[in-house]
């Protein structure tokens, strides 16, 4: 397996196995302790602890969650992941009380690797689709099943 194939496999494992189950040990296997998270929440600590908190925080906001990997594109030490986050909003999300609604919103997540571990990450999410699906902003929400 090449380094690029290994990095893509780690990215896929992160979204399909680690994040949906809240696997802290698995996250530690693939994440550098000093990972740099671009775009982290202001209240989130840096490094591995911040990534772990985000993973666990999402599990409190969304039940039955899963990440559908649409595309993985890799070059050198970088993997771009086009994913759709699916779940039911059953907990508080940034001061939005539980709505019980099913959501599916797409985003692109980038991982930079060194020696088989994520050393840097950032993402671009479709927050407007999520907010419409939750009924927080007006507009016709894209159906959860149609998020691509």
pLDDT digits 0-9 by tens, 25-60: 999 999 999 999 997 778 888 999 999 999 999 999
Answer yes or no: are the C-beta atoms of 61 and 91 closer than 8 Å.
Answer: yes
DSSP string covering 86-145, please? EEEE-S-BTTB-----EEEEEEEEEEEEETTEEEEEEEEE-HHHHHHHHTSS-S-PPPGG
| Residues ≥6 apart with Cβ < 8 Å to 13 | 26, 30
Per-residue pLDDT tens listing for the chain (148 residues) = 999 999 999 999 999 999 999 999 999 999 999 999 997 778 888 999 999 999 999 999 999 999 999 999 999 999 999 999 999 999 999 899 999 999 999 999 999 999 999 999 999 999 999 999 999 988 776 665 555 5
Q: What percent of the chain has pLDDT over 90?
A: 85
Domains of the chain: 3-146 (3.10.450.50)
Please give the pLDDT value at position 148: 55
Predicted model pTM: 0.91
């Amino acid at each position: 397996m090449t380094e690029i194939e290994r990095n893509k496999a780690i990215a896929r494992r992160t979204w399909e196995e680690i994040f949906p189950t809240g696997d802290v040990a698995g996250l530690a296997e693939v994440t550098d302790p000093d990972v740099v998270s671009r775009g982290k929440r202001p209240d989130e600590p840096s490094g591995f602890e911040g990534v772990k908190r985000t993973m666990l925080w999402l599990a409190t906001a969304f039940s039955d969650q899963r990440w559908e990997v649409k595309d993985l594109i890799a070059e050198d030490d970088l993997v771009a992941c086009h994913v759709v986050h699916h779940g039911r909003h059953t907990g508080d999300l940034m001061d939005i009380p539980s709505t019980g609604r099913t959501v599916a919103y797409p985003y692109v997540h980038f991982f930079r690797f060194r020696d088989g571990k994520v050393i840097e990450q950032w993402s671009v999410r479709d927050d407007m689709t999520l907010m419409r699906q939750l009924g927080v902003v007006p507009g016709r929400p894209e159906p959860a099943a149609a998020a691509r």
